[in-house]
Structure 1
Amino acid sequence: MSESSLAEMLRARGLRLTPQRQLVLQAVLDLGHATPEQVHTAVREVAAGVNITTIYRTLELLERLGLVTHTHLSHGSPTYHAAGEHRHVHLVCRECGAVEEVEPALVQPLADQLAAQRNFSVDIEHVSFFGVCGRCHDGNGDEK
């Protein structure tokens, strides 16, 4: 997203484009999948005075604007990524921490079945499966 389109989107909602908002969005785009703490570290490399509260508030705002989304890849902080990316499901290795993305079509039959049987709509962008990756399963992964 360009700086001007972000500024226009914010102005349309009565908000302004601040350097902090721009830095947080850029950090999410650059990092791919990142926790607020990782975003904070990246932003502080450019603007040392930005605190973690500003990061959390900005991430919440960017999510309300539809620019980023989050998922939970661990018991800790949520992980944010750009909302414009293709939709995907996360596979998280409990052994080495690797995160792999797979197409939502893989779990769509389950989502369809839940919709039909339980009238439950799955938010596929928030789906994460935890297990052991092939490398760790074969004994070739990094052990914690």
Structure 2
Amino acid sequence: MTHHAHEHPPPAGDWQATLRSKGYRLTPQRELVLRAVERLGHATPDEILGAVREESQAVNVSTVYRTLELLEELGLVRHAHISDRAPTYHSAAAPEHVHLVCRECHGITEVSPAVVEPLVASVRSTYGFETDVGHLTVFGTCGRCAS
């Protein structure tokens, strides 16, 4: 088996190859869930279920949860905790980002990991701690709500 030097998952159109290479089939449910995640951007399992239900009534919430777990294991989706409710899923095809979440309007701003690099470097040098930047969420008030 050959391993590529790059860290990024294959482009979204290449799910089939990713799933097959790991011995999974791209079932219609898996494709519906993955398409919903990519279309919604950031979505909870319930929101994903709602989107999937528009195309198929044959999918229930436990199927969505199981599918999301599998897709995350395969590196096709990632999750972040950007509310105190359910985790929020987004496509792994998107570049890694930090989430800024406004407590007032609940807007989500994606920022480059470079923005928090001084924090990451400081935590690394002081504590020897490696930060999982893709899971980093900063809560506060956005510029619009603050003014």
Aligned to 1:76, which of 58, 72, 85? 85
Aligned 1:83-102 pairs, distance under 5 A = 83-102=92-111
Q: Normalising by the residue count of structure 1, what TM-score does the alignment of the two structures yield?
A: 0.91
RMSD across aligned C-alpha pairs, in angstroms?
A: 1.0
CA distance in 1, matches of 2:15, 2:141: 39
CA distance in 1, matches of 2:114, 2:19: 33
CA distance in 2, matches of 1:54, 1:35: 14
CA distance in 1, matches of 2:139, 2:18: 36
Aligned to 1:45, which of 9, 30, 54? 54
Deviations 1:32-83, CA, capped at 9 Å, x for gaps = 1111111000000001120000001101111111111010111000011111
Q: Normalising by the residue count of structure 2, what TM-score does the alignment of the two structures yield?
A: 0.89
**Alpha-carbon deviation of 1:19?**
0.2
Q: Secondary structure at the match of 1:90?
A: strand
Q: State the identity as a percent.
A: 53
**Alpha-carbon deviation of 1:130?**
0.5
CA distance in 2, matches of 1:6, 1:135: 38
Judge conservation of contact 2:15–2:76 (CA < 8 Å) in 1. Answer: no
Which residue of structure 2 aligns with residue 109 of structure 1?
118
CA distance in 2, matches of 1:42, 1:26: 9
Aligned length: 136
Q: Which runs of 5+ in 1 are unaligned?
A: 139-144
Which residue of structure 2 aligns with residue 141 of structure 1?
none
Matched, 1:7 2:16: yes
Q: Which runs of 5+ in 2 are unaligned?
A: 1-11
- Give runs of ≥4 in structure 1 deviating > 6 Å: none
Aligned to 2:66, which of 48, 57, 63? 57
CA distance in 2, matches of 1:78, 1:96: 18
Q: Secondary structure at the match of 1:80?
A: strand
Deviations 1:12-42, CA, capped at 9 Å, x for gaps = 2222110000000000011111111110000
